[in-house]
Structure 1
Amino acid sequence: MITPLRVGFVTGATPDKWARHWRERHREPLELVPVTESEQEHLLRGGSLDMCLVRLPIDRDGMHCVRLYDEVPVVVAGREHLLAAADPEVTTADLADEQLVMPHASGWRPDVEQLDWPEMTPREAIETVAAGTGVVVVPMSVARLFQRKDVVTRVVADLEPSTIALAWRVERDDETTQAFVGITRGRGANSSR
């Protein structure tokens, strides 16, 4: 029995195109495993995953890491929030007086004193802001994944984008791993490194 290549993907990442190309070109099975940002590195280092589409930053010690694409940061607020009337883009200055739900997600915090929010998943954070409490800053892919009719999304123009990368342990760098890396880098079926 052939062991599947286990590739994790963090919330919001979309591995479908690469998985389709893998299945067209390789007989080894591919298993896609959804992971959260908080567990992405732990599962990869622990060997539960062979590779993972991670949201940077991660500790790169003992890891190979190939940057794939950047994600635009957006703020999500309830439909009745003032941001609903704002332009498609806002700045952190526009958010300076807001209570930020899930503040660790963006790396940015407003200057006002923040409530001590319990640990939340992105879905729970968006449900919280839909109820009219605070705002949350997340990558656009996460906001789209959990899109609801009772929230609005605005690009935060002055925040740095987040980055999705493919990571794997140095000791896992074999032919199968490099074949998947090649697919994510756009190599054709007959091309080589």
Structure 2
Amino acid sequence: MTGSEDRPSFRLAYVPGVTPDKWARIWNERLPDVPLTLTQVPAAGAEGVLLDGDADAGLVRLPVDRTRLSAIPLYTETTVVVIPKDHLVTAADEVAAEDLADEIVLHPLDDVLGWEERPPGRPALERPATTADAVELVAAGIGVLLMPLSLARLHHRKDLTYRTVTDAPQSGVALSWPEDAHTDRVEDFIGIVRGRTVNSTRGRQPDPAPARRKAAAGKQQSGKQQTGKQQTGGARRGGGTARKKSGSGGGRGKPRRR
């Protein structure tokens, strides 16, 4: 981790479906002098953006190449099937993959679920180029589509709805950055996504100057207090001696005889 930053801003890439708004707001509150630049990139291209140095960190979909990229998993999304509102599947709150066995299940080229073989159901004659294209086909009654919940919300249409699929693969989202570029700014963003407080120094070396100034001020104050105690003690001892002399000279004698 480097001790200083050469770049005046922090560049964060994020894939479709991920919403960095909350973390961006916290960044702007804590680091107002370091602009945060947000760039949306395709899920399949996120690794290349990081490795090419076009972003300092990214909110990406797992898996990533862990030999060259560091990654902190953040959350795992629910998988849903997107269907027309009048589809029979809408009768249930959730479905299993086998419930889609008779359906044409679209499998876009930019799919992010990482099926080990292929999606359930019957394949379409051709794979749609993008998820957005596949959603259009669902609306046209061509088939159904499985995707992470955030993408279903991103591509929401009034004539479509979705249901949870209980046994489908799920998509994990992570904060990732190049192994050899773990900078202080990256650590700042890690702290934000992990919910660290603004005063947390985990992963960062705190500036020693404030601590030294505080310690010096404490010593100076302690010295003043000690001097004050000595002066007060001397005054008390002097006052005691004066009272003693006054007491010995002012004693009452025997009354005189007349």
So what's the TM-score if we normalise by structure 2? 0.70
> Is structure 2 residue 35 aligned with structure 1 residue 29?
yes
**Secondary structure, counterpart of 2:152 in structure 1:** helix
**Secondary structure, counterpart of 1:171 in structure 2:** coil
Which structure shows the bigger proportion of residues in strand conformation?
1
Q: 1:118 aligns with which of 119, 128, 132?
A: 128
Instruction: Return the offset for 1:46.
Output: 1.2
The aligned residue for residue 23 of structure 2 is 18
How many angstroms apart in 1 are the aligned matches of 2:180 and 2:103? 45
1:100–1:135: 8 Å Cα contact kept in structure 2? yes
The aligned residue for residue 7 of structure 1 is 12
Matches within 5 A, 1:10-89: 10-26=15-31, 27-85=33-91, 87-89=92-94
Instruction: Return the offset for 1:18.
Output: 0.6
* 1:43 aligned partner, one-letter code: V
**Secondary structure, counterpart of 2:141 in structure 1:** coil
The aligned residue for residue 215 of structure 2 is none
Instruction: Return the offset for 1:62.
Output: 1.4
Equivalent residues, number? 191
Using CA pairs under 8 Å that are at least 6 residues apart, name the structure with larger relative contact order, 1 or 2.
Answer: 1
Q: CA 1:95–1:36 in 2, change beyond 3 Å: closer, same or farther?
A: same
1:101–1:135: 8 Å Cα contact kept in structure 2? yes
- Offset from partner CA, 1:69-94 (integer Å, 9 cap, x none): 11100000122322233x11011001
How many angstroms apart in 1 are the aligned matches of 2:164 and 2:123? 23
* 1:165 aligned partner, one-letter code: A
The aligned residue for residue 192 of structure 1 is 201
**Secondary structure, counterpart of 1:17 in structure 2:** helix
How many angstroms apart in 2 are the aligned matches of 1:141 and 1:54? 13
**Secondary structure, counterpart of 1:67 in structure 2:** strand
1:71–1:139: 8 Å Cα contact kept in structure 2? yes
How many angstroms apart in 1 are the aligned matches of 2:123 and 2:144? 14
So what's the TM-score if we normalise by structure 1? 0.92
> Is structure 2 residue 157 aligned with structure 1 residue 148?
yes
Instruction: Return the offset for 1:30.
Output: 0.3
* 2:84 aligned partner, one-letter code: G
Q: CA 1:105–1:173 in 2, change beyond 3 Å: closer, same or farther?
A: closer
- Offset from partner CA, 1:115-163 (integer Å, 9 cap, x none): 222311x222212201111111110011011111111200001123211
Larger radius of gyration: 2
How many angstroms apart in 1 are the aligned matches of 2:123 and 2:36? 46
- Offset from partner CA, 1:28-73 (integer Å, 9 cap, x none): 1101111111211111111111111001112111111001111100
Instruction: Return the offset for 1:111.
Output: 5.4
Structure 2: 5+ residue runs without aligned partners? 1-5, 203-258
Aligned-CA RMSD value: 1.7
Q: Give the fraction of aligned pairs with identical amino acids, expressed as a percent.
A: 42
* 1:76 aligned partner, one-letter code: V
> Is structure 2 residue 124 aligned with structure 1 residue 133?
no
Q: 2:181 aligns with which of 160, 172, 176?
A: 172
